[in-house]
Structure 1
């Protein structure tokens, strides 16, 4: 396991567009996000494809890979953040400079389609990566939600931490859809709740990310092997119940639910239940068909706002009796005070 150094105030966050060209189709949100991050005391470095668009993507496969590699090779860049997700980050995996990243570990963060890169980098280097905010999609949101998202990111990547570090459930959450070009203030939100289905404690490595994206790397050298006792983080966005059933059935058929110790099930943004009245957890429960598996339902490391940041590859503890989710072992180099 390779631990990146913490991100310190005044250091540089580089951003890149591994799939969708958000810097082009969401210019107001992009500018607002940059202003917000700078106001938090960090410098920004734009990736080479900033302001570029090739229809559904920011550039060719090799151009997108080179954009990322330039940030990996820049010693002044201490954190690399995606601008948004999309559909095609997995195409970059053969062309990433893994050796350079292993020589100079840094924080890599994003969510959704970036799952492919986060897990691919972890598989190839052992580097802890971070399922967390994307510049445009997350940090272009309005307060107070953007503040909660950034505070959660900062708590996991920049601050001196006393272990174990227990996640605090946000009081409110939202998946309300408002056109980014028309949004002028904070989205309405709902009262939050996490559901803990299980007993005792589950200790294990957190692995996973966006369920739909996992389909693009499953069975490849870029997908870390699921190990006995792992805590599987899965979440999705804007999908219908039929698609979710297929994806969860795939995990069962692959033996994943026989191997993991628990599932962290993230909220599904604007889930389309096709009139069934069922939730993503209901689908998972049917797929399991009585198989015992501890599940936390509604966790906030997902497409909804605010978003908690999860270090993939780190050790965690879910206490189902106390109803807590905690990080239990170091995930940053030299930054933990211990028990």
Structure 2
């Protein structure tokens, strides 16, 4: 996950998650955000809209990245507000928890801001979840986009408010033609369409379990998802299509994370699984390990639902923009993922 591996954080968060799961008054499987709260779709972005750029997690170490992203957004026709967290440092964090949460809340509360994009992931978003005012967010729906560590915010906000959030590009990404085109079609045009596959995904795509399935799209980074399990900020919506991605973790760590999800009964409400890219998930000692793809295959082979691996999701140059909370259909044989409804209003 962006230059910091989360395995040190995961050890403690996973234990907390497992401990929480045994509490009798809490059942993480009995929840459906869109039906309990009501699905909210943010307004589609258009030229002339104002986008705020923030760093809710890891610190930004090269201000040239910020300048480049600001210029890119302006070239796309947007007005840009740069958050103060983009220059703040508290070790690996972009300022204190209060500074980062206050900035995010101020951007949601500001009616002149139409969208919020994270500059990068890193680590730190989960530390903000109990500091956000979800009623304010619910009253001010707008586009929120990022991936990796931003997974915490995307899923918690959807769970607590019903707001569709977007797992996609961050400021430090290349915003190449493929990724930008998908972003525009999903967030700006509100299209219902089959997300395209790039040449890399076509080359590495693997069908693990054949079949088609439809359901509500939900997911993100595997480490982050696993760390949230058992908390009030993670619930599996009924009949979900779960998407996952990971980076810089050894196969045994991927195994541990997937085992955590299994023991927490996360798979029970899934209609299908779309696994993206596990970039640089290589064993330090290959002769004493199992390959990551084989770990994933072993975990999902017994599930009677469609499962695929290799979609353009994660820490790769070309990636999809995925709207969390909307209805989609997956085909594990062709690799297609079709948005069945518009993600924006």
- Which residue of 273, 279, 297 maps to 2:309? 297
In structure 2, what is the Cα distance between the partners aligned to 1:264 and 1:18? 27
Whether the 8 Å contact between 2:308 and 2:333 is mirrored in structure 1 is: no
Unpaired runs of 5+ in structure 1?
174-190, 334-339
Local SS of the residue matching 1:77: coil
Aligned-CA RMSD value = 1.8
Matches within 5 A, 1:77-96: 77-96=113-132
| Bigger shift: residues 112-121 or 145-154 | 145-154
In structure 1, what is the Cα distance between the partners aligned to 2:306 and 2:190? 31
What residue in structure 2 maps to residue 110 of structure 1? 146
What residue in structure 2 maps to residue 18 of structure 1? 56
* Change in 2 beyond 3 A, CA 1:87/1:157: same
* Change in 2 beyond 3 A, CA 1:278/1:33: farther
What residue in structure 2 maps to residue 176 of structure 1? none
What residue in structure 2 maps to residue 149 of structure 1? 179
Unpaired runs of 5+ in structure 2?
1-38
- Which residue of 188, 192, 195 maps to 1:158? 188
What residue in structure 2 maps to residue 336 of structure 1? none
What residue in structure 2 maps to residue 184 of structure 1? none
Local SS of the residue matching 1:215: helix
In structure 2, what is the Cα distance between the partners aligned to 1:35 and 1:172? 28
* Change in 2 beyond 3 A, CA 1:210/1:10: same
Note the alpha carbon deviations across 1:206-260, whole angstroms, 9 max, x for none.
1110010113321112112342x31111111111111111001111112222331
- Which residue of 248, 257, 262 maps to 1:247? 257
In the TM superposition, residue 262 of structure 1 has moved relative to its aligned partner by: 1.1
* Change in 2 beyond 3 A, CA 1:267/1:15: same
Query: Does 2:279 align with 1:269?
Result: yes
What residue in structure 2 maps to residue 314 of structure 1? 326
How many residues are matched?
Answer: 305
In structure 1, what is the Cα distance between the partners aligned to 2:335 and 2:244? 19
In structure 2, what is the Cα distance between the partners aligned to 1:84 and 1:160? 24
* Change in 2 beyond 3 A, CA 1:20/1:321: closer
Local SS of the residue matching 1:236: strand
- Which residue of 148, 154, 161 maps to 1:125? 161
**Moved segments of 4+, more than 6 Å:** none
In structure 2, what is the Cα distance between the partners aligned to 1:237 and 1:320? 22
| Bigger shift: residues 212-221 or 106-115 | 212-221
In the TM superposition, residue 319 of structure 1 has moved relative to its aligned partner by: 2.6
Local SS of the residue matching 2:197: coil
In structure 2, what is the Cα distance between the partners aligned to 1:41 and 1:172? 30
